[in-house]
Chain A
Amino acid sequence: MLDGRTTLDLVIGFLGLLMIFAAIWSVLSKRLLSSVLLSGAVSLLASLVFLAVGAPDVAMTEAAIGSALTTMVFLYSLSRMKAEQDAHEDGGAS
C-alpha cells in the first residue's frame, strides 16, 4: 500500500484537505483580516502541492506571487480602505 505512488497521493491529499479547510474558513470568517491571511495560507499550501507534483517553477511563483504579494496587496488595500473610512468619519479632506 505504501509504495512511492500512494504516499505522494496521501501527502497531496493531506495538503489538499488542509487547503480546502483553510479556504472554507477564509470564506466563512467574519473578520476581513483573517480571511485575507487564510487565502495567503491557501496559496502557500498550494505551492507545497505544486512542489510535490514536480513543478518547482510553479511552486516558486505561487509562493512568491500567490501568497506573498497578493496578501500584501490585499493588506495595503485594506489599510487604504480604513484610511478612507477615517477620512470620511472626521470629515477629511476628500
Chain B
Amino acid sequence: MMKKLLLLAAIALLAFALWPFVRDVGLAEPGELATAYLERGPAELGTANVVTSIVVSYRGFDTLGEVTVLFTATAGVGGLLARRKSGHGKKKAAERGATDASEILKTASRLLSPLLVLFGVYIFLHGHLTPGGGFQGGVVIATAVLIGLLADPEAGLAHGVMHVVEGLSGFAYVALGAVGLWFTGVQAGFLDPRFLPLGELGRLASAGAIPIIYSLVGLKVGAELTGILDAMKEDAE
C-alpha cells in the first residue's frame, strides 16, 4: 500500500515538474536557426529533404554517434544472447513442438522479401529527396529479413556476410567523414558531403555525398537490426 502511495506521489511530482512546459510553451513560428536550415540547406547542400541535410551533414556527428549506439547495443545483445551457440545444442524446431510456419506465410515471404529489400534500398537511396533515409531503409530491410526468418526459422543467416557488411559500411562511413575533413580544406569539415558535386536539386545524383553516406548508414542499420533479431531468435522456436 505504501508503495502505491509513493508511486502516485512520484507521478504527481513529475506532472507538477512538467506543468510549466504545457502551460507556458505554446505554439510558435520556427526560430531563426530553423529558418537558417530551411534556407541554406537546399542551397548549400542541394538536398530537397531538409531533415536529411540536418541528420547527415549539419548534425552528422549525432548520426555517427547514433550508429555507434546501435552498434554497441548489437554487440551487447549478441554477447548476452548469442553465447548459447555452444549451449545445449540447437533443437530442431519440430522437436520443440513449435508450430510449423503456415503455407501462406511461406509463399508470401518468398514473394514479399525481395520486394521489401528493393523498397528498403529505394528508401535509403532517395533519402535526400523523399521522406525517409538510412534508418528507415535499414529497418525495412531488417523487416524483410525478419519475414524470411519467420517463414523458415532454420534458414541460418549468413553471419559472416552480415558482419562484413556491417563492418565495411561502418568503416566506409567513417572514411567518408574523414575525407570530408581533409578534402574541403575547410577548418574541420568532418562529415562534410560537399566533396562531390551538388548536382541539380531533385535529381537522384545530387546533394554531394549525402546519398552515399545515408546508404551506408542504411546498410549498417539494416545489418545491425538483423543481427539483433537473429541474436534474439537464436534458438527460439
Chain A residues contacting B133 (CB-CB under 8 Å) are 57
Contact A60 B87 (CB under 8 A): no
Q: Is the interface of B mostly helix, strand, loop or mixed?
A: helix
Chain B residues contacting A18 (CB-CB under 8 Å) are none
- Tell me the complex Cα distance, A93–B131, Å: 49
Taking A57-B136, A64-B136, A65-B139 as contacts, is the C-beta distance between A73 and B87 under 8 angstroms?
Answer: no
Q: Please tell me which stretch of B159-167, B174-182, B225-233 contacts chain A, meaning at least 4 of its Cβ atoms lie within 8 angstroms of it.
A: B225-233
Chain A residues contacting B87 (CB-CB under 8 Å) are 93-94
Contact A61 B136 (CB under 8 A): yes
- How many residues from B make CB contacts under 8 Å with A? 26
> Which residue from B49, B81, B228, B235 sits with its C-beta under 8 Å from A57?
B49
> What's the minimum C-beta distance from A4 to chain B, rounded to whole angstroms?
14
Chain B residues within 8 Å of A, Cβ to Cβ: 49, 51-52, 81, 87-88, 96, 123, 131-133, 135-136, 139-140, 142-143, 146, 225, 228-229, 232-233, 235-237
Supply 24 A–B pairs (Cβ within 8 Å), ascending by A.
A56-B132, A57-B51, A57-B131, A57-B132, A57-B133, A60-B136, A61-B136, A61-B139, A64-B136, A64-B139, A64-B143, A68-B143, A69-B142, A69-B143, A69-B229, A72-B229, A73-B229, A76-B229, A76-B233, A79-B236, A83-B96, A83-B236, A93-B87, A94-B88
Chain A residues within 8 Å of B, Cβ to Cβ: 55-57, 59-61, 64-65, 68-69, 72-73, 76-77, 79-80, 83, 92-94
